[in-house]
Amino acid sequence: MTTATEELYQPPKVFLEQSNISNWMRQRGITGYDQLLERARNYEWYWAEMAKELAWFKPWDKTLEWKLPFSKWFVGAQFNIVHNALDRHMKTSTKNKVAYIWESEPGEVERWTYEQLWRETNRMANALKRLGVAKGDRVTIYLPMIPQLPIAMLACAKIGAVHSVVFSGFSSLALKDRIIDAESKVVITANATFRRGKAVALKANTDAAMTECPSVKNVIVVRRTQDAVTMQPGRDLWWDEAAKKESDQCDTVALDSEAILFTLYTSGTTGKPKGIVHVHGGYAVGTAATLKYVFDIKDKDIFWCAADIGWITGHSYIVYAPLMLGATSIMYEGAPDWPEPDRWWKILEREKVTILYTSPTAIRMHMKYGQQWAAKHNLSSLRLLGSVGEPINPEAWRWYYEHIGGNRCPIMDTWWQTETGCFLVSPLPITPLKPGSATKPLPGIDVDVVDSSGKPAPIGEGGFAVLKNPWPSMLRTIYKDPERYKQNYWSRWPGLYLTGDAAMKDEDGYIWFRGRADEVLNVAGHRLGTAEVESALVAHPAVAEAACIGVPHEVKGDVPKVYITLKIGQQPSEALVEELKKWVSTQIGPIARPEAIEFRDKLPKTRSGKIMRRLLKAQALGKEVGDISTLED
């Protein structure tokens, strides 16, 4: 098994000397990365230090109350995340700074200053109040990547309402289930949006869902396109008309730091989505701190988190954390390769983006198109890169590092989950990097890899990633289902949070995530991560993408079967099948040799870009496929 420990990328001097984290350490007499991690083992101290960087209406009496598995952070404090994200900037020069550079798919560009964002948030908050939305009420937001999406979220949070954003790529069925579970009073949507040049009928989807959602009293509709839609009198109102009537001043409600900020639904092992609950205080501390110190956000940066706000990555790192830090972010509505594969690089060049944060899937897509697309553009403004969502295979890491980052920009491979709220395992810009490893737990975070009995797995051997301490931005529960929260995350081994991920810790303490634990095969008694096989395959010059599943084998337990898409210009053949089998065998070892290889034009993916191995497996075994509401196509 390769760990590539021999391949180490040392942090550039400029980060060692001038990064936010180096300054923070200098102020406290901390002399190096290892010492930082050591000091932060006192995690209550560390997080309280981070919390002091935000503005509190009333400070906390106690940093943490931990009644396993339920945590409360900054107990007794009064807080509102919107006071930090918007209001407090009205008294500083950030007021006139651009918060979002928004580009639509057809190509319009809008620049929203903090003040403009604040005024429109106030209007929408007043409009919600007029509709009877009060503290604790739920609002479902079904919007595409347009400025009204963060505004709607902030408007809810400002008055203490709970938002539940449903990714705009979801069907009306998925929307309906999520509205019903949240018992939302109001739904905010748009008449339509654009995707690959085509209009997507969001209002029609909403109307379809609405037939079974009695809790919903009103639907607010953003006029995104010229498309006419049916408006139901008494229920539906246009955003622009509603906002126009309202004052652009609105008080921010002081909340208990544990007040619910949002729920966000994510798939579990069963068909019913889980409403992950995050709260104002702790979530704000975790997200602001991690963005500031991992991505080293400075006043002049142009930050681009190229995710969709419909997922946790966008909630945390397009909306809340960048706004709390007073940063300028890019927000792009459309597909990355529309109308040409260099759409992203055009935006990046024009806006002189300094930090780009994306996913391995996107990187591999760009690899597949070829480096000539990025090469046409000047990307020299970049100083830092990031990756999230799945293990990044070293091949993609190196491509990203060389062709996008110009061999200059450290890559922050951030491991985290909807449940964790913020990055937990990730390098800081002062961490030596190993391609393919998310490196070490961040300060204040304790992650371990355990075997099936819950004991620490031997170094270099695979196991299950678990978390040993609470952290401020952890989920508080599953909405309306604390029992499922306990069962799902805390029941396997006492006191350990089950991430569901397979991982390995190497001799330097670096963690190598290998995909979900349910995607780990046991081949003749050896653990083999599907991600490992895929990583080996995508390193082959003919392969664009690979998905590996385990299929039962009489003698060996599981054997790997892989599905492959080829790079443009490559042809499937029997000879190539043999070559690839041999390739994997030599890359990892004979146990990894795929039993079968199938070529596909494309692989089934979730709308967030993860390959749906579960679906491939069900097909291969002729079984029921289960919940596929997150499938893209």
| Parallel, antiparallel or unpaired: strands 543-553 and 497-505 | unpaired
* Amino acid letter, residue 471: W
Cβ atoms of 605 and 361 within 8 Å: the answer is yes
Query: In this structure, how many other beta carbons lie within 10 angstroms of the beta carbon of residue 441?
Result: 23
Q: Of 281 and 436, which CB lies nearer to ligand WTA in the complex structure?
A: 436
273 binds ligand WTA (CB under 6 A): no
Cα 464 to Cα 501: distance, rounded to the nearest angstrom: 6
414 binds ligand WTA (CB under 6 A): yes
Cβ atoms of 331 and 351 within 8 Å: the answer is no
- Minimum Å gap between C-beta 418 and ligand WTA is 3
Cα 374 to Cα 356: distance, rounded to the nearest angstrom: 14
203 binds ligand WTA (CB under 6 A): no
Cβ atoms of 495 and 469 within 8 Å: the answer is no
DSSP code string of 156-176:
HHHTT-EEEE--TTS-HHHHH
416 binds ligand WTA (CB under 6 A): yes
- Minimum Å gap between C-beta 100 and ligand WTA is 21
Q: Helix (H, G, I), strand (E, B), or coil: what is residue 427?
A: coil
Residue of the chain from 389, 394, 405, 604 that contacts ligand WTA (CB under 6 A) = 389
Q: Of 94 and 316, which CB lies nearer to ligand WTA in the complex structure?
A: 316
- Minimum Å gap between C-beta 281 and ligand WTA is 21
Residue of the chain from 172, 189, 418, 630 that contacts ligand WTA (CB under 6 A) = 418
- Minimum Å gap between C-beta 307 and ligand WTA is 8
Pick the piece of the chain touching ligand WTA (CB under 6 A) from 85-93, 317-325, 412-420, 468-476.
412-420
Paired tokens of 127: 């409009």
- Minimum Å gap between C-beta 357 and ligand WTA is 11
Cα 505 to Cα 149: distance, rounded to the nearest angstrom: 39
- Minimum Å gap between C-beta 3 and ligand WTA is 15
Q: Which of residues 461-500 bind ligand WTA (CB under 6 A)?
A: 499-500
Q: Which of residues 498-527 bind ligand WTA (CB under 6 A)?
A: 499-501, 513, 516
Q: Of 69 and 389, which CB lies nearer to ligand WTA in the complex structure?
A: 389
438 binds ligand WTA (CB under 6 A): yes
How big is the chain by its Cα radius of gyration, in Å?
A: 24
Q: Of 124 and 312, which CB lies nearer to ligand WTA in the complex structure?
A: 312
Letters for 90-129 (x = contact with ligand WTA by CB under 6 A, - = none) are ----------------------------------------
**Counts for the chain of helices (H) and strands (E), in that order:** 21, 29
Q: Of 160 and 391, which CB lies nearer to ligand WTA in the complex structure?
A: 391
415 binds ligand WTA (CB under 6 A): yes
Cα 583 to Cα 590: distance, rounded to the nearest angstrom: 10
Q: Of 24 and 317, which CB lies nearer to ligand WTA in the complex structure?
A: 317
Q: Of 20 and 387, which CB lies nearer to ligand WTA in the complex structure?
A: 387
Pick the piece of the chain touching ligand WTA (CB under 6 A) from 211-219, 286-294, 408-416, 468-476.
408-416
267 binds ligand WTA (CB under 6 A): no
Residue of the chain from 313, 358, 361, 630 that contacts ligand WTA (CB under 6 A) = 313
181 binds ligand WTA (CB under 6 A): no
395 binds ligand WTA (CB under 6 A): no
By CB under 6 A, the count of residues binding ligand WTA is: 20
Burial (CB count <10 Å: 0-12, 13-18, 19+), residue 2: middle
- Minimum Å gap between C-beta 498 and ligand WTA is 10
Give 24-47 as a 3 state SS string: HHHHCCCCCHHHHHHHCCCHHHHH
* Amino acid letter, residue 312: I
Beta strand extents in 51-116 (DSSP E only) = 62-67, 70-75, 78-79, 98-103, 109-113
SS3 content of the chain, % helix, strand, coil (to 5): 35, 25, 40
Residue of the chain from 391, 394, 435, 444 that contacts ligand WTA (CB under 6 A) = 391
Q: Of 122 and 418, which CB lies nearer to ligand WTA in the complex structure?
A: 418
388 binds ligand WTA (CB under 6 A): yes
413 binds ligand WTA (CB under 6 A): yes
Residue of the chain from 312, 356, 404, 588 that contacts ligand WTA (CB under 6 A) = 312
Pick the piece of the chain touching ligand WTA (CB under 6 A) from 28-36, 310-318, 334-342, 559-567.
310-318
Cα 344 to Cα 32: distance, rounded to the nearest angstrom: 36
Q: Of 185 and 516, which CB lies nearer to ligand WTA in the complex structure?
A: 516
Sheet with 162-165: list strands edge to edge.
Answer: 236-238, 218-222, 186-190, 138-142, 162-165, 260-266, 274-279
266 binds ligand WTA (CB under 6 A): yes
Q: Of 89 and 516, which CB lies nearer to ligand WTA in the complex structure?
A: 516
- Minimum Å gap between C-beta 313 and ligand WTA is 5
87 binds ligand WTA (CB under 6 A): no
Q: Of 273 and 326, which CB lies nearer to ligand WTA in the complex structure?
A: 273
194 binds ligand WTA (CB under 6 A): no
Give the DSSP letter of residue 81: H
Greatest extent of the chain over all pairs of C-alpha atoms, in Å: 72
Give 523-588 as a 3 state SS string: ECCEEEEHHHHHHHHHCCCCEEEEEEEEEEECCCEEEEEEEEEECCCCCCCHHHHHHHHHHHHHHC
Cβ atoms of 179 and 218 within 8 Å: the answer is no
530 binds ligand WTA (CB under 6 A): no
Give 309-375 as a 3 state SS string: CCCHHHHHHHHHHHHHCCCEEEEECCCCCCCCCCHHHHHHHHHCCCEEEECHHHHHHHHHHCCHHHH
397 binds ligand WTA (CB under 6 A): no
- Minimum Å gap between C-beta 508 and ligand WTA is 17
* Amino acid letter, residue 347: I
Residue of the chain from 3, 225, 417, 587 that contacts ligand WTA (CB under 6 A) = 417
221 binds ligand WTA (CB under 6 A): no
- Minimum Å gap between C-beta 390 and ligand WTA is 5
| Helices 280-294, 20-27: inter-axial angle, 10-degree rounding | 100
Residues that bind ligand WTA (CB under 6 A): 266, 311-313, 388-391, 413-418, 438, 499-501, 513, 516
